[in-house]
Amino acid sequence: MLAIVRAVGGGVQVKSVDEELGLEVGVRGKLEPLRAKMTKLADRGWLHKRPDGKFTVRL
């Protein structure tokens, strides 16, 4: 997940990360576990969660 966010370079939505990982993006419930993992990474300082819901690399 971190490598995908770094490769994008800007803000990335959870749906984009999900697509890169090859998971189902059509089902909304499938995105929530990934969103929770990315939020945990943001809470721990690995990522930054912007107010618009996108994630970026912590500088």
pLDDT in tens, 12-59: 999 888 888 888 777 778 889 999 999 999 999 999 999 999 999 987
Q: What is the pTM of this model?
A: 0.83
| Helix, strand, coil percentages in the chain from 3-state DSSP, rounded to 5 | 55, 10, 35
User: 3-class SS at 39?
Assistant: helix
Q: CA-to-CA distance for 23 and 52, rounded, in angstroms?
A: 23
At 25, list the tokens: 């993006």
Task: Compute CA distances 2 → 17, 26, 27, 56, 59, whole Å.
Answer: 9, 22, 23, 9, 13
Residue 4 vs residue 58, higher pLDDT: 4
Within 10 A of 33 (CB to CB), how many other CB atoms are there?
A: 12
